[in-house]
């Protein structure tokens, strides 16, 4: 099944039982390029520094609970997730994935919380800082290949030749369930936003979401189209060196692209997630690419507003500024009707 059909209640229930959980802030800034901008700040999510914490930890928990059900014939209760008995049960499971940094941290954290093990493959492009943080989470780190795609291949081989469970955030034909769980975990963001906008009685006109393999963008777009009472335009922002979702959309089929290495390391994915691509095709979204320089400028602007992030984290703002400057845009939208939302997806490393 390549259909994305999440149940947003499940991750929310698990999170409500977690002492670390709190909603990430929704900030309103009036000073960004004279624009009134909503910012969903994911840079401190669950103490892990990015929204990815929502996906990997939830997917680990759910896959282990599935295994528990298969072995014991009983559904794991919320209280049992943190029991010694469950940790003991989980200790024979090793999760394996490739990562540009944040997904690996989420998987390693999930494995540590629930008593399992994690092996994370990082390409040589991934900053040393991630390796250190992964080791602190008790993960085994393997440096695999020059690019993200090479590290993905290495993780698949590793899982195939061992009894490990592959927990990728990308998906492809024949491999969709674990990455769909990762995306189901991200639904929490759009759900929180729905509550936050309902409370302040204001809604965004445009939502800019940066994409790597597309899991975040697709999860957000699905939730917005299904549950938000006011419908914004959705713009998926990619690096000009990795426009795999825009290219797939234009070709009408999931397409791998080629390109230079981007400074937006976490967005530098040349192959789209199949589940994400299919979900985006149904959500009526637009696509925009940005340059490395535009992402660096956006990072600086956020820093001037006391929000520390990286070019990957600031890419949504870069997309917004790029779109806002175009003549076509200026003619269509009076400034007052333009209330953009961006997501700052990670903290500064």
Contact predicate 292/263, CB 8 Å: yes
CA angle 286, 257, 105 (to 5 degrees): 85
DSSP assignment of 107-150: HHHHHHHHT-EEEEEE-TTS-HHHHHHHHHTT-EEEE--SSHHH
| Site for ligand PLP contains 100 (CB under 6 A) | yes
| Site for ligand PLP contains 103 (CB under 6 A) | yes
| Site for ligand PLP contains 215 (CB under 6 A) | yes
In this complex, which beta carbon is closest to ligand PLP, that of residue 245 or of residue 301? Answer: 245
In this complex, which beta carbon is closest to ligand PLP, that of residue 76 or of residue 244? Answer: 244
Report, in Å, the least distance between residue 145 CB and ligand PLP: 17
With H, G, I as helix, E, B as strand and everything else as coil, classify residue 253: coil
In this complex, which beta carbon is closest to ligand PLP, that of residue 101 or of residue 232? Answer: 101
Report, in Å, the least distance between residue 343 CB and ligand PLP: 8
Distance separating alpha carbons of residues 244 and 284, to the nearest angstrom? 17
In this complex, which beta carbon is closest to ligand PLP, that of residue 86 or of residue 222? Answer: 222
Type and span of the H or E element at 340: strand 340-344
Report, in Å, the least distance between residue 138 CB and ligand PLP: 21
Residue 325: both structure tokens together: 């400057």
117-122: strand order across its sheet: 140-143, 117-122, 94-99, 165-166
Q: Which stretch binds ligand PLP (CB under 6 A): 59-67, 125-133, 147-155, 205-213?
A: 205-213
| Site for ligand PLP contains 50 (CB under 6 A) | yes
Interaction residues for ligand PLP, span 255-314 (CB under 6 A): 266-267, 269, 312-313
Counting residues that bind ligand PLP (by CB under 6 A) gives 21
Distance separating alpha carbons of residues 225 and 293, to the nearest angstrom? 32
Interaction residues for ligand PLP, span 118-177 (CB under 6 A): 169
In this complex, which beta carbon is closest to ligand PLP, that of residue 115 or of residue 185? Answer: 185
Contact predicate 45/54, CB 8 Å: yes
| Site for ligand PLP contains 104 (CB under 6 A) | no
| Site for ligand PLP contains 345 (CB under 6 A) | yes
Q: Which stretch binds ligand PLP (CB under 6 A): 21-29, 104-112, 145-153, 211-219?
A: 211-219
Report, in Å, the least distance between residue 293 CB and ligand PLP: 18
**Where do the DSSP E strands lie in 136-282?**
140-143, 165-166, 206-210, 233-239
Type and span of the H or E element at 38: strand 35-41
The sign of the torsion formed by the CA atoms of 201, 298, 122, 256 equals positive
In this complex, which beta carbon is closest to ligand PLP, that of residue 4 or of residue 89? Answer: 4
Contact predicate 55/179, CB 8 Å: no
DSSP state of 266: G
Which of 45, 52, 121, 194 contacts ligand PLP by CB under 6 A?
52
In this complex, which beta carbon is closest to ligand PLP, that of residue 50 or of residue 295? Answer: 50
| Site for ligand PLP contains 346 (CB under 6 A) | yes
| Site for ligand PLP contains 40 (CB under 6 A) | no
Question: Where do contacts with ligand PLP occur on this chain (CB under 6 A)?
Answer: 50, 52, 100, 102-103, 169, 210-217, 266-267, 269, 312-313, 345-346
């Amino acid at each position: 099944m390549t259909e994305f059909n999440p149940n947003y209640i499940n991750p929310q229930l698990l999170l409500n039982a977690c002492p670390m959980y709190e909603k990430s802030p929704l900030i309103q800034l009036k000073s960004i390029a004279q624009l009134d901008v909503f910012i969903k700040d994911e840079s401190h999510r669950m103490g892990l520094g990015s929204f990815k914490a929502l996906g990997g930890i939830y997917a680990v928990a759910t896959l282990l609970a599935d295994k528990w059900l298969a072995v014991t014939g009983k559904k794991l209760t919320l209280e049992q997730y943190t029991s010694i008995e469950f940790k003991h049960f989980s200790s024979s499971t090793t999760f394996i994935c490739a990562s540009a940094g944040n997904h690996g941290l989420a998987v390693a954290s999930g494995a540590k919380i629930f008593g399992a093990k994690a092996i994370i493959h990082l390409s040589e492009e991934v900053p040393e800082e991630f390796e250190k943080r992964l080791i602190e989470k008790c993960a085994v780190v393997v440096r695999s290949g020059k690019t993200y795609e090479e590290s993905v291949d290495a993780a698949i081989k590793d899982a195939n030749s061992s009894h490990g469970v592959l927990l990728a955030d990308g998906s492809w034909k024949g491999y969709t369930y674990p990455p769909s769980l990762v995306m189901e975990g991200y639904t929490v963001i759009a759900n929180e936003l729905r509550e936050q906008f309902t409370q302040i009685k204001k809604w965004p006109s445009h939502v800019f979401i940066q994409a790597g393999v597309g899991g975040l963008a697709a999860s957000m777009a699905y939730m917005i189209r299904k549950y938000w009472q006011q419908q914004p335009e959705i713009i998926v922002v990619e690096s000009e060196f990795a426009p795999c979702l825009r290219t797939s959309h234009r070709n009408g089929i999931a397409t791998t692209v080629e390109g230079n290495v981007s400074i937006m390391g976490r967005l530098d994915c040349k192959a789209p997630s199949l589940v994400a691509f299919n979900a985006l095709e149904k959500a009526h979204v637009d696509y925009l690419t940005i340059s490395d320089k535009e992402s660096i400028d956006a990072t600086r602007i956020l820093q001037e507003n006391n929000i520390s992030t990286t070019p990957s984290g600031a890419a949504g703002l870069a997309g917004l500024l790029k779109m806002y400057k175009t003549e076509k845009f200026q003619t269509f939208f009076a400034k007052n009707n333009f209330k953009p939302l961006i997501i700052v997806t990670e903290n500064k490393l």
